[in-house]
Amino acid sequence: MNGTVTVEGLSKSFPGTSTPVLDDVNLSVEAGSCTALLGPSGAGKSTLLRAVSGLEVPDAGRVLVGGQDMAGVKPERRGMAMVQQRPLLFPHLNVLDNIAFAGTVRGVPKRTARVDAAEFLDLVQLEGFGRRQVTALSGGQAQRVAIARALAARPSVLLLDEPFSALDPELRSAMHALLAELRRRLNPTILMVTHDRSEAAVVAENIALFSGGRILQHSSVELMYSRPASLEASRLMGGANEIPGTVCNGSHHSALGVLPLPCDTAWPTGPGILLARQESIEVSAADGAGLQATISGLQGMGPRRLVTLDAAGVVLRAEVPWGRGLAVGENVTMHIPTSALAVVDDSDTAHLYADADERPSLTSRGRAALTGVGH
């Protein structure tokens, strides 16, 4: 079966939930692609995955695989396999028979299913583990067995529900590499639920960003970071800099000054919030050229530091590598590459600010500049 997955107008409510868990969700993913379903807890990601798999019946809408409507098609007949956060292996079967189960359940003779299972065991780099009891596996090994069992069912669509979230960082990296290898060899369509933006960026080429039962944005990982469609999408992707102002002739005008915007987009004229990815902002010794700022805060973040800067009353954050010593109170020069900039509409953001005056990126000096009111 062709593994294109299309979700049309999917809605789902549960008894006792005041708002729909899925609210008219539309999504289309190409065969062989990997899409991360990303978003906060309770946004409806797992419910969508379960509805696609057939484990949950939607109230409205439909799921198509390879153009075929899956309504009424049992989960085991959809050409899909699912791996959950916990491996859910059969405790009474050894590793090999757990994997062979995918074949025997389809009527493949046990002997043939075991030969096949051994190949999948090799594929997930667990050769020699076939006779082991599943209760004697580490978390990472058990999850690899669960993936092998899912793949042994020859699914055209692989559904992964936070499959690596219980693993330590090294093991997670190893599993990401394994998934990339499995994709090269078997090329299933993958939908993977994750909370983790970094994991989504490593594993998937596309992200469907969820909030409140809806998809806010579905685009490539790169566009999700560089061109969020809304302030909410920017925040969910970890964007830390929001500067109110106005767009005019392809530039953004604010307390920071006039900053040219990427010229590959026709930015609409009018009020707009400038977004500047914190990872792209460079901070160097004050040299009089470029944007001048004063460091107002420093915070360690493992291999990088989060620098809080005050530039003409605008609070900005930059993530910079360790290197030259930086100190609170120091005057520095900031460089914001044009490619790190984007603008989102100002009009749909009221609900995101508790108070219209509480723009997080403005100091009282910046607010005064914006509103023309002295403080």
Which residues form the interface with ligand ATP (CB under 6 A)?
14, 17, 21, 39, 41-47, 193, 195
Three-state DSSP class for residue 168: coil
Identify which of residues 214 and 304 has a Cβ nearer to ligand ATP in the complex. Answer: 214
Identify which of residues 46 and 226 has a Cβ nearer to ligand ATP in the complex. Answer: 46
Identify which of residues 21 and 126 has a Cβ nearer to ligand ATP in the complex. Answer: 21
Identify which of residues 40 and 250 has a Cβ nearer to ligand ATP in the complex. Answer: 40
Q: For residue 331, which of 296, 305, 364 has the smallest C-alpha distance?
A: 296
Identify which of residues 34 and 283 has a Cβ nearer to ligand ATP in the complex. Answer: 34
Q: How far is the CB of 224 from ligand ATP (least distance, A)?
A: 17
Core vs surface per residue 85-108: b (16+ CB within 10 A) or e = bebebeeeebbbbbbbbbbeeeeb
- Tell me which DSSP letter residue 191 carries: E
Identify which of residues 46 and 278 has a Cβ nearer to ligand ATP in the complex. Answer: 46
CB under 8 Å, gap of 24 or more: what pairs does 126-129 form?
A: 126/95, 129/95
Q: How far is the CB of 207 from ligand ATP (least distance, A)?
A: 14
Q: What is the dihedral of CA 96, 102, 104, 110, to 10 degrees?
A: -20
Q: For residue 142, which of 194, 188, 85 has the smallest C-alpha distance?
A: 85
Q: How far is the CB of 45 from ligand ATP (least distance, A)?
A: 4
Q: How far is the CB of 204 from ligand ATP (least distance, A)?
A: 16
Residue 309 to residue 294: CA distance in whole angstroms: 5
- Residue that has been written with the tokens 């566009």 in this structure: 223
Q: How far is the CB of 58 from ligand ATP (least distance, A)?
A: 12
Cα angle 19, 29, 342; round to 5: 75
Q: How far is the CB of 161 from ligand ATP (least distance, A)?
A: 8
